[in-house]
Every structure is written in C-alpha cells, then in structure tokens.
Amino acid sequence: MKIFNKKFPNIFLNKRKFYTKSSDKTSFFDERIIVEKKSFFREWDSKRSKLAAALSNGISQIGIKEGSVVLYLGASHGYTPSFVSDIIGDSGFVFCVEISPVVARDLVVICEKRKNMTPILASANHPETYKQLVVEADIVYQDIAQKNQVEIFLKNCNAYLKKEGFGLLTIKSRSIDITKKPKMIFKEVMKVLEEKMTVVDYRTLEPHEKDHALFVVKKK
C-alpha cells in the first residue's frame, strides 16, 4: 500500500486501485479489505464513486482532508460518504443528506457504526429545512441527478459553505437536458459556477461514468 499522491495523503494505491484507511473492518458494500500493519484498507471503486473516478482522472484538488467538516448532498446508501468518512478521520465530520427513506435505511446503519457520520432525511432543494441539523462546512459535496442540480448546489454553498471552502459538484448532463451534447452542458455549468465561485478544476468521468463531470470550486 502506498500513498496515492502527496496532495492526498489519506488516499492509497495498491495494484492500481484506490484504498482508504478505515477504523472499521466491516465491509458494508462487499468491498475488498486489505489488512496491513494492523490497519484496515478498504478498496474504493472508481466505477461506483464519482469522487474516485475524478481522482483517477487526475483531478488536482478535492479539498477534503483530515479534520474536514463535510456537507454531503445525495448520500444514497452511503458508499462515497463512507470513504469521505475514512479520509477526514476522527477529527472530521460528514453530514449526509438524502431524500429517499428507502435508501437511507442503509445510510443510517453505516452512520451508527461510524462516529464521524450522521444522516439527514431531507431534500437538498430546501436547505432551510436542515438548518438546525448541520453546521458550517469546509466542504460541500453534491451528487444529485436533478434538473436543477446546479441551483441546489449554489443554494447550499451559499447557506453552509465557509468562505474559502471547497465545493465539489458532480454533474449528470442527461438530467439537465438529454438532447444537448454533454460538452455543451458542462460549458454552461462552468459559466454559471464562475459567476459565483472560483472554479479550481474539473474532470469528465469517462470511462468510469458516461456523460458525467465533477467540478471543484472555491467560495469567494
């Protein structure tokens, strides 16, 4: 197991696969677990996680590091959130917002196991509804396939992201407009983001995900 990149000291590489160091040896998602020097490393699949896909495609910065407070929108069963939880460690914290009660059942189970995770059953489209349940965050991460996904992201960054904090936004071009070329959509998204934020980097997610991109922005 070696460190993936000096910039990401908590992300590891082994035989071209990503791993994070976990305090827990439970494999919630059937992911492979490697034990090395009494530490547990969980395999992080770029096909299942857009964040891992962006890393694999060479994204230069993700902002998420040891001790980060993360607001995660569209947490689903908790796959990517669990790796974020590994990266930020005991001194970090991740708030996992998910709208669907059915998938959130798995999310709750993981949150009960991990001391730095908590679930929030709410729509990210209405950030005011979880005002009492979250705190200001160093990172806002969003993975929601909705037509107004950019608007949802900006609303949340506006309400909860610290100044100079990082925002990570995954875009599924099909959800915005299926008839347009993904490239055009990404261009439009870039323009909207640039009005409010500093765009740090972005990557399309081929071959891991079709017609997807991940944007990294910084709050001015």
Partner 1 sequence: MVDFKKLRINNILLAKKTIREAVCEDDFIINSINNIEDLAKVANVLCKRLRQWYSLYLPEMYNKIGDNEAFVRLVLKKDKNTLMKELKLSETMGSDLSKNNLKPILALASRIDSLYTLRNELKDYLKKIMGVYCKNLLTLAGTVLGAKLIESGGSLKKLALMPSSTIQMLGAEKALFRHLKSGARPPKHGIILQHPLVGGAPKNKKGKAARLLADKLSIAIRTDFFKGEFIGNKLKEELKKRLK
- Binding residues for ligand SAM (CB under 6 A): 49-50, 73-74, 76, 79-80, 97-100, 103, 123-125, 143-146
26 binds, among ligand SAM, partner 1, none (CB under 5 to 8 A by kind): none
Stretch that binds partner 1, among 10-18, 24-32, 117-125, 197-205 (CB under 8 A): 117-125
**Amino acid in the structure at residue 199:** V
What 3-state class would DSSP assign to 199? strand
13 near partner 1 (CB under 8 A): no
Quote the CA–CA distance of 185 and 207 in Å, as a whole number: 18
Quote the CA–CA distance of 64 and 8 in Å, as a whole number: 9
Binding-residue pattern over the window 30 to 69 for partner 1, x denoting contact by CB under 8 A = ----------------------------------------
Question: Closest CB to partner 1 among 103 and 192?
Answer: 103
79 binds, among partner 1, ligand SAM, none (CB under 5 to 8 A by kind): ligand SAM
What 3-state class would DSSP assign to 33? strand
75 near partner 1 (CB under 8 A): no
**Amino acid in the structure at residue 177:** D
Question: Closest CB to ligand SAM among 99 and 193?
Answer: 99
CB of 130 to partner 1, least distance (A): 9
CB of 112 to partner 1, least distance (A): 6
Distance of CA 192 to the CA centre of its chain: 20
From the DSSP assignment, how many helices (H) and strands (E) are in the chain?
Answer: 6, 12
72 near partner 1 (CB under 8 A): no
Say if CB 165 and CB 138 are below 8 A apart.
yes
What does the CA dihedral 83, 84, 90, 91 come to, rounded to 10 degrees? 170
